[in-house]
Amino acid sequence: MMDVLYFAWVRERIGLPREKIDTQAATVMELIVELRGREERYEMAFGDLESLRVALDQELADFDAPLAGVREVAFFPPMTGG
Amino acid sequence: MRVCVQAEPFDLGAESNAFAAGVAGAGAVVTFTGLVRDNGGALAAMEIEHYPGMTEKAIAAMVEQAMARWSLADALVIHRYGQLAGRDPIMMVATASRHRADAFAAAEFLMDYLKSRAPFWKKELSAEGAEWVAARDEDEAALKRW
């Protein structure tokens, strides 16, 4: 079981700020593929990987990063701070 | 160092003065302040979302990197989230060093990293509706110089 968080337009497209997901996905990319297969709203959020970023336990990560031991995954668009 | 992620407004003058007063031995203080662009009056409000927990950690890591890289007496980052109006201060960075070159360079480094690596997302609200501000390629490219 892991917490999956969504921010900004990823959150708006999926319609949830966070959810618990029971998954066997070994990497971030496997989790994305699994979510995209669920429902249209996930496909809308994850359709363009160029404009998607991911953090694992609050550290930026790559899509090929392993999920073993990870408790919190967050998906969001490129950041616009400052 | 001090990192504040807050919804409340901050007093730029009071923060700058307190920062400068607290850095013994420093001969240079650089401050930068980011304001909400009002787009010629078209902006009704700006909403800033962030990732509580990660935001504070990511900014603290940037400040630690800056302190390790330049000779700094101290550094301060304040960044707001929530609903802001046009012309409101969004954030400020202050750096202090013995001579000005370190303070200037560290402030620019922190600004470049805050733009693209601190988990904030801005949304502009206007009469035409709401729109997420897109990340700029120039901001991502700016990280390469460090």
Best mutation target among B51, B63, B115, B131 (most A Cβ atoms within 10 Å) is: B51
Element (H, E) at B66: helix B54-69
Mutation site for B-interface testing, chosen from A3, A70, A79 by largest number of B Cβ within 10 Å = A79
Query: Domain for residue A82, yes or no?
Result: no
| Secondary structure letter of residue B53 according to DSSP | T
Contacts of B108 in chain A (CB under 8 A): none
Chain CA centroid to CA B80, Å: 9
Nearest to B114 among A9, A76, A81 (CB): A81
Q: Indicate the number of domains in chain A.
A: 1
**What residues of chain A have any CB closer than 8 angstroms to a CB in chain B?**
5, 7-9, 55, 58-60, 74, 76-82
pLDDT at residue number B118: 98
C-beta of residue A45 within 8 angstroms of C-beta of residue A75: yes
Q: What is the pTM of this model?
A: 0.95
Residue whose token pair is 């360079």? B105
CB B90 within 8 A of CB B84: yes
Cβ-defined contact of B115 to A79 (cutoff 8 Å): yes
Q: What is the mean pLDDT of residues B1-29?
A: 96
Number of helices (H) and strands (E) in chain B: give both, helices first.
Answer: 4, 8
Which residues 6+ apart lie within 8 Å of B13 measured at CB? none
- Cβ–Cβ gap B111/A82 under 8 Å: yes
Q: Cα–Cα distance between B57 and B96 in angstroms, integer?
A: 21
Ordered by start, the domain boundaries in chain B are 2-143
Chain B residues at the A interface, defined by Cβ less than 8 Å, are 34, 49, 51, 53-54, 57-58, 79, 90-91, 111, 114-123, 132-135, 139-140
Instruction: Render each residue's pLDDT in chain A as its tens digit; 82 residues.
Output: 999 999 999 999 999 999 999 999 999 999 999 999 999 999 999 999 999 999 999 999 999 999 999 999 999 999 999 9
Name the minimum distance, in Å, from the CA of A38 to any CA of chain B: 25
Q: What is the pLDDT of residues B50-94, one digit of tens each?
A: 999 999 999 999 999 999 999 999 999 999 999 999 999 999 999
Amino acid sitting at position B142: A
- The CATH number for A27's domain is 3.10.20.30
Query: Does some domain include residue A29?
Result: yes
Looking at residue A28, what is its pLDDT?
98
Looking at domain B2-143, its CATH class is: alpha beta
Within 8 A of B36 by CB-CB distance, chain A residues are none
**Which residue type does A8 have?**
A
Banded model confidence at residue B39, pLDDT cuts 50, 70, 90 = confident
pLDDT at B73: 97
Q: Report the chain A residue with the minimal C-alpha distance to residue B59.
A: A81
ipTM of the complex: 0.95
Q: Does residue A24 sit within a domain?
A: yes
pLDDT at residue number B43: 93
Q: How many CB pairs under 8 A join A and B?
A: 67
Per the structure, the complete domain to which residue A62 belongs is given by 2-76
Domain membership flag for residue A30: yes
Identity of the amino acid at B103:
A
